[in-house]
Structures are given as structure tokens and as C-alpha cells.
Chain A
Amino acid sequence: MRKGTSRSAVLALAAMVSLPAAAAAQAGEVVVGNISAMTGPTSGTHMMCQSGSREYLEYLNQQGGIAGKDGKVKVKYLAYDSQYVATKAKDGFSRLLEQKMAVWTQCASAHSDALIPDYEAAQVPLVTGSHGIASLYSDWAYGNYHSGIANMIRTWIVWEKAVWEKAGKPGGTLVLGTVTSDEPFVPLALWDIDAFAQQQGVKLVKETFPKGTTDAGPQLLRLKDAGVKQIYVIASATGAVVVLKSAKALGLKIPMTQCAAATLGDVIALGGPELAEGYQGEYFFEPMSKDPALGGSPGLKLARELWAKNHGKEAPNDMYVNGVLSGMVIAEGIRHALDAVPPGKLTGAAIKHGLDQVSGFTGMGLTQPITYAKDDHIGQKQVRYWVVVKKGYVEPVSDWMPTTTYRIPRK
């Protein structure tokens, strides 16, 4: 017994002494925190997001910092490895808080939910493209897009229905299919979806394949037998590659669309451009895989420059743009905050106030206008569908269109 307690105290002490004291923010600096999985299987996406916001904010530092009417600050960007564990994310939040973090960003919706009590109590706003369910209701969470995971398939159904109606309703009823891998977010993505499909007058056929399998052939065949006209794929990029391979093997010609859980760029990288050709997907921002021949917004140009400067040798990635966008929203919030308070008073609450002022912000054309209202921090609510063309680039197949705005009940 004694060993247990006395030793735990001694070792805990040793642990503390071995960690350096938290460095406080310098004058004229604002600390932006990031909590994401920097190791483990999800680290690929998370590091992309993190690099995007980090490198954009560092770029602003090189340009002289973020300036408002009341002064100018530089950003100190600190990151913590959550290892995709919620308790670790909590530890990291405390750690960053002790380092005077005033605003934070992340890339895992699970973290944005689990940390709600913490960032609400600490009064540190969250800016992210990755909303959880509960954080949609939090006054301290700001999204740069995305109206919640359950809207991905809903919006797609609305889109497919509009296309079908335009074509003169071939077949009488519209039969749509979805194939999902058993990732933890899938039940959320399909939340109460049957009622929605029924209300839309669409027949929805659902199939699931296990995570880690290398063949989704049986599921696709059953969708084909059910006579579906379009298939929506709710899976990670790995799952999407499995679906595409199986479809190719079966000679299946039904068009398929990837949900935003993975980008088309990821699918191209994993499965190769040949396999991905013709695959559709959705973006809330302008992707880096966009065919350079099509040009791009100033924001996309900047993102491409930052990428070339920092990761010249690596293949570009769409999630990087997502990170850049989060960085832009943070900077915009700080800019507005500096209109009201001097740099010395740039607290989380001040930045939240600044974020509340954000209106019609497009991130240099990267996305549709973001305006935050008092009880609506979701950001822009439009999505655009893209398709993979030859050479592994993507081009738009639809215009920007409004997403549905369903919210999963908080409890």
C-alpha cells in the first residue's frame, strides 16, 4: 500500500521536474494552439490541417504580423499531440492554456465535443472545419464551413434529386444507394436518414462493408440489383479505394460520390489517378487538386505557394487548404479583435468578440462568404461537387449549392 502512494507521489514529482516550465507569451504575441493526432493512423490528415494553419500564420508573421486599428501582433503557434485520445487532448488543452493560448484549432470532431466544458470554462474560442455534434451548439466554437456530419448525405440526396427532376424524372422513382464502411462516424452520418429520404420521396438503399476488408463487391452487387442510380460512399479514403477497386472489378458503371470524410485528393493519392477517374466528391473550399489549367482564387494561389515553399518535394493535398482556411479565419478574428482592444488585451474573449464581427469573409476566394451570427457559428453553408478527371486533377461538376441544415439532437 505504502509503495503505491508514496512512490506515485515521488515519481509524479520527478515527472514534473523533468518537464520545463511553460513559456509565457511574449509581448505583442498571441498564442494559437493546435491539438491533433500527430502520431498514429489519423496523423496524415491531422498533420495536413495543422501544417496549413501553421504555415499560413507564419507567413503572416513574415509579412509583419496581424494588424488592427489598435496595434499589431505576431502569432506564436503551439501544437500538442493528442494521439487521437480524448484524455490526451484534455491534457494538451491544459498545457496550451498554461502557455497563454488565446484561440485554438484542431482537426478531429471528437476533440471539439470532448473539450467543450474546457474551452467554454477557459473562454478560449475554437476555430475549425471539423465540428462535432455538441460543438455545433457551443457559443465558443466557430466553424469555417460544414453544417454537421448528418448533412453530407442529405445535401447529396437533394442534389441528386434536383438533377433527376431536371432530366424529367426517368424511371418514375429515384433509387439511390449508399455504401459505408463501419467507421465510428458512420452512424452519425446516417442519423435518422430514412425519415429524410422518405420525406424527399427517394428510395435509399444502404449497404455496409467492414473496415479493413479489401473487397466491397457483394455490397455493390446488391446495390446494383436494387437498381440504384447513384451511390454515395461514406468511408475514409482507404474505404473509398476498396469500393472503387471492387466497382472496377465488377465493371460497375453506376456513378459514385465520396462524402467529405475524405477528399478526392486523398483517394487519388491512395488509389492512383487511373482508378479515381470519374469519382465524384464534395468540397467546402477550393481544393488544391483543382486542375491548374483552370486557374484559381488568390487564396488557392497563396495556398499553393505556401505548399511549394514548405513541402516542395511532396505531393499537394486538399486538407492543407482546409488548414489554411482555419488559419485565415483565426487571423480575421484577431484582426477584428485588434480593432477594439490593444495587443496586450488580446484574450480569448476579445478574439471571440472579434470572430463575432467576421462577415462575408471568403478567405481570399477559397470558399463562400463566412458570416457569424449570434447563435450561428457554423460558417458558410454551401458545398460544391467535383469530379476526378484525367491526370489526377479535379474539376467542378456543380455550382455552389446550399447544404441542408439538419442538426443531430444534442442528447
Chain B
Amino acid sequence: MRIAKGLSYAVLVALLGAAPYFLSSYHLSLLGRFLALSILALGLVLAWGRGGILSLGQGVFFGLGGYVLAMHLKLVALSPGDLPDFMTWSGLDHVPWWWNIFRHAGVAFAAMVIVPTLAAAALAWLVFHRRVGGVYFALITQALALAFATLLISQQPYTGGFNGLTDFSTLLGFELNDPAVQRGLYWATLAVLALSFVFAQWLASTNFGRILQAIRDGENRIRFLGYNPAPFKIVVFAVAAAYAGVAGALFTLHVGVISPAMIGVVASIEMVIWVAIGGRSSLLGAVLGTLLVNFGKDWISSAMPELWLFVMGSLFVGVVMILPQGLSGLHALSRPGKPLLARFRSRATYATPHGHTKKKPSPAPALEAGGAE
């Protein structure tokens, strides 16, 4: 079983690795950017699927990574003493100091991970150490996405406003629109994705991952066992943000632009649907879900633009109501040795610990009475 699984992963990676040789350059560039996005999806699986922390503001951390790298790329593209074009238009006469920090590639590379991680850790600490969580946290992250996007749009002289940052030329001396460099970027993205995947898999299999899962299923019980859930939730949320930051930076390189529209409220919640479609607790499912939804979006919105929101809306409703474990749930359904009935029964228990459903009595109703997620 293990060998078969390892083999199928190897085949998948080989297939993706060989993609530059059989895909058209248009589809390759799409695949590259979607693979970058699926790094973010892996982070969401850790935070939401394992830790039960739903973030509707993942775009913020994606954007932090993307903007940090974009600032570096903008600075590199300048001749000495010059200003980025939008700064000149807005009447600035020098580059602000917090831009100059990212002039050095090493600093920018470190910052695209560190900045989102620290921002996420700070927010998570403020919220979780007061035992606020669940729906509240989801709503706060959504407000964060709104505030961040409006701030970026309004600070036109420093952030490029609504258009964001674009017109990059080189990274570490490589010409970005050279086809060979783009192929290299594709492989680099694939490699980062594979590394992130392995790390996420490892993290989920450690004791940390197990406690995380226990927190998701019954935070109070974990408290009674003597653990403080807050640090676990903070760490996993910060890890998810780091993933989002890396994804944002890679995505910016692939697309050549980062703008507020890619990271706002709507974009952020779209990220959740990738994971929901693939399966919130399956890493592989999240990657496949990201690819599927994004290729679908590309296809539908070029064929029938007005249809896309209907499709996405129905996806949200459908996947949550019919297939809460996403496509990976289908896989579990067909797994031999586990009867269909057992799966439905396990779905029923999934809904009961909160005491609202009548399908099956909660194992410990007295403790969980009135409890919520």
C-alpha cells in the first residue's frame, strides 16, 4: 500500500516535471501559476483541515509575500537614482526607506516568508490567547482582507494603488520573459511545492499535528488534558501564512503583476473553495482542487464570463452540503474494506458533537452542551 502510494506520487511529480515538454507555453504558464497557488492551499489544509481554523483572509499573507518580492523586482528594474513610474506620477521624489530594505535579494527572499509569518502570528496571538476562535476568527480575517486591500488601493504613491506593482525585468540577473527562465521558474515552483508538501505531511504526522487535530475536534477536551491550545493554533496559522507568502511571491513571478484585486475579500474566500473542493483534510486533494478550480475558472470565464459566479456559488453550496470532504471524500467512499454505511455514519458523528443534530447522541453530551465549533 505504502509502495503503491509512493509510486503514484513519483509518477505525478514526473508527469508535472515533464509538462514543459508537452504543454503549450500558454497552458504551461497557467499550470505554473496554479502550482504556485496550490502551495497556499497546502497551508490552508494544515490550518483549516487539521487545525479547524478557517481563514477568510489568506489573501493578505499571499499579498504580503507577493508585494515584498514585487518591491524587490521593481527596485532591481530601476537605473540608479530612478523612481518606480507610479511614484514619479504621484509626486514622490525619493524611494521610501521601507522600500529600500528590499533592494537586496537575500533580504527580500527572507522577508517574503518572515513578514507574512510574523503578521499572522501576531494576529493569531491577539485573537487566540483570549480564547476567541471559530466563526469570530473567520470574520476577523475577512475584515483584515478588506482593510488590507483598501489600504493598498488608497496608498497609490507607495503601493501602485489599484493597478498594483507590475513591469518587472530581472530576478537575480535572469531575464524574466526569457522562455528558458520561465521553464526554470516552473521547475522551481514544482520543487518548492514538493518540498512544502513533504514538510506539511511531516508536520501533520508529528505529535504537533495530532494535538492540532484533537483541538479541531474538541478544544475543551484538550484543555482538560492540560494543553493550552493557543500556541498550537498560532503556530499552524503562522505556518499557513508562510506558505501563503511563498505562494504569493512565486505567483507574482509567474504572472508578472500583483494587485489588490488578487488578495481582497473575494479572492481570499476563493482560496478556501480550492481546498474545499479538493478535500480540506487532504494535502493531495488540495493541490488537485486548486488546479481543477483554477483551470475551470480559466475555461468558463473565457467562454461564458457571467456564468462563473453561478458556478462558483453552486460549488460552495454543493461541496459543503454533499461532499464535505471534497474530492478526497469520494476516494474514501470507494476505498475497499470500508463499507459505505460506515462512511455515512462517520459523517453523522461529525455533525453531532455540537448537540444540534438528532442523528446520533453525542458521546459526552453533558460536557459539550451548548458548545459550538
B is bound to A: no
